[in-house]
């Protein structure tokens, strides 16, 4: 396909040509997906059902669980189907859709984590003004902006990427990923996509700096709390969020900033799974392990 500039479909990376390993991959991803769906649905159900969790922090957490469900559902089922059917095929439209939705959910994820850092800052540093600042109307508006921002980001990136001319249809990844699609360009990155990439880096760096500064102020405020119990309570709401942010940013940096190669190693695949699939799995687990209210509600749901 070297002389072609348009492609009718794409061929995704196959984990192995061995049929037994393909079946093993299918079952591994099936267990991963089932666990991710179950844990996130439990968080969503807990927040909806129990009135004790009807607060801004848990409202944001519910939306985070929805985003994580979306990320996993975009990538995993298609990879499972390909392994089960011994194929690498994904249609052009399917690739565009997967690419758009994945980037939209990832952008929404980072935006929401930034908002959650602000929520913790107001709750700990300005507790007397918390209900006034983080009103339900304001929180709803924030969440709407987060989702719309993610969709706009996905539209811009998808438009920029799929306006380039492709010289190959072989995607060196098990889903339609940004770096691998850009490698298929005949003439390099166009100005539109280059501009979007630069803007994305600036915005992502801005979110990271905002989160770091927020937690620097938060920890300074926590150290001034005289009660040991008060400090532990404040930290118990911050540590899960900080853990999730660290895991997302660290795995994303490792995956995207690693040296580029034409052949994908098992290490590369592992890093991709680390940043794309493990955060949606571990986010609800981390929150449920560290948060007493969620553990209490989940134990009640388990009894039913």
pLDDT(10) > 60 = yes
122: confidence class by pLDDT, cuts 50, 70, 90: very high
Question: Residue 135 corresponds to which tokens in the numbers above?
Answer: 């009103």
The percentage of the chain sitting over the pLDDT mark of 70, rounded to a whole number, equals 90
pLDDT(255) > 70 = no
The pLDDT, as a whole number, for residue 74 is 93
The pLDDT, as a whole number, for residue 264 is 60
pLDDT(3) > 50 = no
More confident residue, 145 or 52: 145
The pLDDT, as a whole number, for residue 67 is 94
In the beta sheet, which residues pair with residue 265? Answer: none
DSSP the chain: -TT-S--SEEEPPPS-SSHHHHHHHHHHHHHHHHHHHHHHHHHHHHHHH-GGG-SHHHHHHHHHHHHHHHHHHHHHHHHHHHHHHT--EEEHHHHHHHHHHHHHHHHHHHHHHHHHHHHHHHHHH-GGGHHHHT-HHHHHHHHHHHHHHHHHHHHHHHHHHTTSPBS--B-SSSS--HHHHHTTBSS---HHHHHHHHHHHHHHHHHHHHHHHHHHHHHHHHHT---HHHHHHHHHHHHHHHHHHHHHHHHHHHHHHSPP-SS--HHHHHHHHHHHTHHHHHHHHHHHHH-HHHHHHHHHHHH-
Of 54-63, 182-191, 244-253, give the range with the top mean pLDDT. 54-63
- Per the CB < 8 A criterion, the answer to whether 47 and 53 are in contact is yes
**Tens digit of each residue's pLDDT (9 = 90 or more) over 82-101:** 999 989 999 999 999 999 99
Question: Residue 89 corresponds to which tokens in the numbers above?
Answer: 């095929």
- Mean pLDDT over the full length of the chain: 84
The pLDDT, as a whole number, for residue 276 is 84
CA distance 221 to 59: 24
Per-residue CA distances from 7 to 93, 163, 220 (Å): 11, 12, 55
pLDDT(290) > 70 = no
- Per the CB < 8 A criterion, the answer to whether 59 and 47 are in contact is yes
Tell me the mean pLDDT in the region 54-77: 92
Sequence-ordered list of residues with C-beta below 8 angstroms from that of 145, at least 6 positions apart, any chain: 111
Tell me the mean pLDDT in the region 228-236: 77
């Amino acid at each position: 396909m070297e002389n072609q500039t348009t492609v009718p479909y794409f061929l995704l990376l196959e984990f192995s040509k061995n049929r037994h390993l393909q079946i093993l991959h299918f079952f591994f991803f099936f267990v991963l997906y089932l666990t991710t769906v179950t844990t996130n649905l439990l968080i969503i159900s807990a927040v909806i059902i129990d009135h004790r969790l009807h607060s801004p922090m848990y409202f944001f957490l519910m939306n985070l669980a929805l985003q994580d469900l979306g990320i996993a559902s975009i990538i995993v089922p298609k990879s499972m189907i390909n392994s089960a059917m011994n194929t690498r095929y994904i249609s052009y439209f399917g690739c565009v859709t997967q690419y758009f939705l994945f980037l939209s959910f990832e952008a929404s994820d980072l935006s929401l984590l930034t908002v959650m850092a602000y929520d913790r800052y107001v709750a700990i540093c300005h507790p007397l003004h918390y209900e006034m600042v983080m009103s339900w109307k304001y929180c709803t508006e924030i969440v709407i902006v987060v989702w719309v921002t993610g969709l706009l980001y996905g539209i811009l990136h998808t438009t920029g990427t799929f306006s380039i001319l492709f010289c190959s249809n072989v995607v060196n990844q098990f889903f339609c990923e940004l770096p691998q699609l850009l490698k298929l360009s005949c003439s390099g990155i166009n100005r539109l996509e280059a501009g979007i990439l630069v803007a994305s880096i600036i915005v992502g760096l801005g979110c990271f700096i905002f989160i770091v500064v927020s937690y620097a102020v938060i920890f300074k405020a926590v150290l001034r709390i005289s009660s040991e119990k008060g400090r532990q309570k404040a930290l118990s709401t911050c540590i899960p969020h900080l853990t999730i942010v660290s895991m997302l940013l660290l795995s994303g940096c490792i995956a995207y900033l690693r040296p580029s190669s034409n052949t994908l190693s098992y290490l590369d695949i592992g890093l991709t799974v680390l940043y794309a699939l493990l955060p949606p799995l571990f986010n609800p687990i981390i929150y449920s392990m560290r948060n007493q209210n969620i553990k209490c509600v989940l134990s009640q749901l388990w009894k039913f």
